[in-house]
Amino acid sequence: MTWAINVVYALELGASITEVNLITTIWTSMSVLVLVPFGILSDRMGRKPMLLIPTALTIVGSTIRSLATSPSQLLVAAFIGALSSDFFTILISMVVDVARPNEQREAISTLLLFSSIGMVAGPLIGSILLSFPGIVTRNIYQIDAVAQTCVLAYSFIMIRETKAKTKEKEVFHASNVLDLLRKPSFRYLLVMVFLFFYFFGTMNTYIPIHANRNLSLSDAEVSTLATFRGLATMLIRFSAATFLSRVQPRKLLILAFTLGGIAALVSPLASSYPLLILISFAYGSSFGMTMVLGYTMVSEESTPSNRGTANAVYSVFQSMGSLAVASTSSLAEAAGIAPVFLLAGSASLASTIPISLRRTRQAKERPDDPDQSSASGEKNRP
């Protein structure tokens, strides 16, 4: 619910485009600082503590937003909420901890599927609530704070530690992380995800601005765009355990980046609500494929002793890509949002380059294994 209204709420409180970009990117700025330490702590102390702490901070951030009266208070809330940025990275590590190697892609896609169900349900519920006369955007954050409190209680009571299952096999050492970063194939993944999240962050920021300022859509209509984006992501992830498991990841990622690039390039031409729905569906599909396949490739590059750190480093580059969106503020103010969408489309299309280089590198290192990352799951399947 909150992702769907963040930009609209900031605009309602009088935020400029520059302030909107600051509010939406301070979260990613802090992520760059906290993700790797959280990942290292999860490798050393266990996953569950690093799951509970971010959830508690999310509650504080939503509470501050629900009481905000100016953009500056939203900046404070974003700063505090940013410390909760490792939540999903830890969940990914926990799922991979308990999955067998040949089940990892299906396990990740299942987790992401349930996440995308929430991405659809949240904006949809928010849009319905905003259609009632007595409900305003501020109330959505109040509801979110209550919901997150329930999540915290559920996590504390029901979720078990998974890192204990790996302690006897491997122990964390700094050299494990250095070995990970020395891998060219892992570095290619980092470049890929940086470019893609620059594109994705731009779309998430400027599509609502385009809808609100240029097309004069209502808050409820702008919120539903996130619903259609989430619906596309959910449908992709629903097929991930079957269709995506049988197709080469490289080819699917190239398809995803191309689809996203086209969506960004045509965004300035969207002059109606239905066209924005179509664009949201397209880049939501691109996002769905990239998340499943990207985290699967990271799990293939890591081991139980450095998995939390590997996912954290990967997420840091996601955050850095999203953070780069803030640099477009002056361009958008001076020349409009069309050039910003052009840059986003170019970044998505450029994401195909590092993933192609990674494939070439793997082919040289393993000439007898034409597509190890896509075939391993099927070869090992009983």
Q: Where are the alpha helices (DSSP H) in the chain?
A: 2-12, 17-45, 49-67, 71-82, 87-98, 104-130, 137-158, 174-182, 184-209, 219-240, 249-266, 273-301, 307-323, 329-335, 338-350, 352-365, 372-380
Q: What is the mean pLDDT of residues 92-121?
A: 82
DSSP 318: H
- State the pLDDT confidence band at 153, using cuts at 50, 70 and 90: very high
> pLDDT by residue (tens digit) across 289-346?
898 888 888 887 877 777 788 888 888 888 888 888 888 888 988 898 999 999 999 9
Q: Which range, 58-67, 87-96, 100-109, 334-343, is most confident?
A: 334-343
Question: Residue 166 falls within a domain, yes or no?
Answer: no
DSSP 302: -
Least confident range of 143-157, 161-175, 185-199, 354-368: 161-175
Question: Residue 314 falls within a domain, yes or no?
Answer: yes
Buried b (16+ CB within 10 A) or exposed e, 286-324: bbbbbbbbbbbbbbbbbebbbbbbbbbbbbbbbbbbbbb
CATH number, domain containing residue 321: 1.20.1250.20
Task: Quote the pLDDT of residue 78.
Answer: 82
Question: Residue 248 falls within a domain, yes or no?
Answer: yes
- State the pLDDT confidence band at 379, using cuts at 50, 70 and 90: very low
Question: Residue 145 falls within a domain, yes or no?
Answer: yes
Q: Is 212 or 243 the better-scoring residue by pLDDT?
A: 212
Task: Quote the pLDDT of residue 27.
Answer: 67
3-state helix/strand/coil string of 323-363? HHHHHHHHHHHHHCCHHHHHHHHHHHHHCHHHHHHHHHHHH
Question: Residue 176 falls within a domain, yes or no?
Answer: no
- Which range of residues forms the domain containing residue 316? 2-161+183-375
Least confident range of 132-146, 171-185, 272-286: 171-185
Task: Quote the pLDDT of residue 259.
Answer: 95
3-state secondary structure at position 19 = helix
- Asked if 373 and 300 count as a contact pair (C-beta separation under 8 A), the reply is yes
Question: Residue 173 falls within a domain, yes or no?
Answer: no
Q: How many CB atoms lie within 10 A of CB 132?
A: 10
- Give the number of domains in the chain: 1
Of 135, 126, 143, whose CA–CA distance to 221 is shortest? 126
Task: Quote the pLDDT of residue 371.
Answer: 44
Question: Residue 168 falls within a domain, yes or no?
Answer: no
User: What average pLDDT does the structure give for the chain?
Assistant: 81
Distance CA 58, CA 80 (A): 8
Least confident range of 79-88, 110-119, 309-318: 79-88
Q: What is the mean pLDDT of residues 225-234?
A: 86
For the chain, give the percent of residues with pLDDT over 90: 20
Q: Does the pLDDT at position 271 exceed 70?
A: yes
Question: Residue 255 falls within a domain, yes or no?
Answer: yes
- State the pLDDT confidence band at 175, using cuts at 50, 70 and 90: low
